[in-house]
Amino acid sequence: MEYGCIGRCLIHSFSPTIHRMIGRYEYESRELSPEELASFMAERDFHGINVTIPYKKAVIPYLNELSPRAKSIGAVNTVVNRNGLLYGYNTDFGGMQALLSKMGVDIRGQKALILGSGGTSKTALAVLQSSGAGEIFRVSRSGKDRALTYDQARSLHSDAQIIVNTTPCGMFPDTDKQPIDLTAFRDLRAVVDAIYNPLRTDLILQAQGMGLAAEGGLYMLVAQAVLAAELFSEQPLPECETQRIYDELLSQRRNVVLIGMPGSGKTTVGRLLAKELGRNMLDVDELIVQRAGCPISQIFESRGQEYFRRMETEIITEISRKNGLIIASGGGSVLSKENVRRLSQNGRLFFIDRPPDHLLPTADRPLADNEEKITKLYRERLPIYLDAADRVVKADGPPEAVARYIIRSIL
């Protein structure tokens, strides 16, 4: 390995993609067990590596020298081999600083809670201290090493203004988990989550739903990678590089989710988008038909609407964990808040708002098989579609126009 990333589980890491976008060297991921870490570090057969969970502290004994920042934090995420000597750095510090700057959050004098006790929590502590935060408390399940328990955080510090999550709670594949309920904190202003997969954890979705400044860890990941690349190559990168890579990566990884009435053209628009953008397209209704082995009308007739909705949720749960897709949802998919939440984790939801008089009834849609049903259904569901959507697309023209509008808004 010349350059790469080491950790315990890296199959879904974005780091290789980011470093390929930087384009200065070959970069690979290598999963190591704790037993393999010692021999890997002892052999020193690399030029530069990034280090992730759970080895940010474990690599330190193998290093010849630590940067002042890495030494004070006690965690290393970047190692450079210079003539056989290993130098350790913490570019996560600069990455988190860049994320807070992007969010425009004023940390000075604010009470902050840091969730977690690992290497990233130490970085968060250093960043908050350097930014002039007021009181800072670490929170962990055990409450060891002078940390608060989660119950203590809720009962004693409900006036916290900043929360930074550095735990893996909510990270892929366990995306339905959340480390803490934010409604307990009455003065909360901003939430940061170091997790970048999914793009928006449930913690971030809850914070955004409360109108708070909230960001996941993708920008931090890109910013620290750019800093690491500068250490690897010993050459500076343009100041705009972090934003360029972040924008491109977010566009590539974020799903485009189409919601709207039956017959509004979601499938047609989805296929146009998939062709134009070179992405895979998944149609929730088609996947249900494939799995059930019969048409939707027959599912409703023989097994009932409740059975259909359960299948719909199962499929949405599976596909919403993936990245870079075009997803055409069913007309009633957004009736479930759980479906909306899951689709929102990695997706941007576009409401294809086609007027009722432009919607054609068809026999394969049991809830919209005549004009009267369509009009009634539209009136009932319109507030739900509007509430779920990130963007409303007026669809009173041809599908090609709708597709072009969506492409312009995501590129």
Report, as residue numbers or ranges, the catalytic residues. 56
Q: Are 353 and 313 contacting, i.e. CB atoms less than 8 angstroms apart?
A: no
For residue 111, count other CB atoms closer than 10 A to its CB: 17
Residues 299, 288: Cα–Cα separation, whole Å: 9
What count of Cα atoms within 13 Å lies in the side-chain half-sphere of residue 107? Answer: 25
Residues 346, 256: Cα–Cα separation, whole Å: 9
- Report the b/e string of 206-231 with b at 16+ CB within 10 A: bbeeeebbbbbbbbbbbbbbbbbbbb
Residues 169, 118: Cα–Cα separation, whole Å: 13
Residues 71, 73: Cα–Cα separation, whole Å: 6
Residue 193 has phi, psi (to 5 degrees) of: -125, 120
Which whole-number Å values give the CA distances from 173 to 9, 170, 197, 198, in the listed order? 11, 8, 9, 9
Which whole-number Å values give the CA distances from 87 to 48, 62, 65, 314, 385, in the listed order? 9, 10, 5, 47, 53
Residue 223 has phi, psi (to 5 degrees) of: -65, -45
Q: How many residues does the chain have?
A: 411
